[in-house]
Amino acid sequence: QAQLVESGGGVVQPGRSLRLSCTASGFTFSNSGMHWVRQAPGKGLEWVAVIWHDGGNQHYADSVKGRFTISRDNSKNTLDLQMNNLRAEDTAVYYCARGSGANYYYMSVWGKGTTVTVSS
């Protein structure tokens, strides 16, 4: 069955960088748009970024635009999120999710998440 496994989380100081990865299996990754969604401790879900199936389009939430970069390698079935200039408010569990439907508007498969803590 479809599965997503995130990695790369950890504790990082404000202003530093971190790269998250997500490995997909059980579905045709190269046909799927992919999202990153995050959830701060005790809070709701916040969409972070999306990348089209062929990598041709990427879109970001205003809160991360200019600091985060989403990318993918369809030959390796992997999705990445490069996070630069991290802030305390970026502290969250980061989920990767498979996008489905028009403009990948809903998230049909979710990973279990990786935790990012930004703290000095």
Residue 5 binds to another protein (criterion: CB under 8 A)? no
Judged by CB under 8 A, the chain residues 42 through 71 that form the site for another protein are 44-47, 50, 59, 61
Q: Is the dihedral of CA 101, 2, 79, 76 positive or negative?
A: negative
Smallest distance, Å, CB 105 to another protein?
Answer: 4
Check if the beta carbon of residue 36 is closer than 8 Å to that of residue 21.
Answer: no
Nearer to another protein, 56 or 120 (CB): 56
Nearer to another protein, 16 or 90 (CB): 90
Judged by CB under 8 A, the chain residues 60 through 119 that form the site for another protein are 61, 95, 100-113
Render 57-115 in DSSP notation, one character per residue: -EEE-TTTTTTEEEEEETTTTEEEEEE-S--GGG-EEEEEEEEESGGG-EEEEE---EE
**Which stretches of the chain bind another protein, using CB under 8 A?**
35, 37, 44-47, 50, 59, 61, 95, 100-113
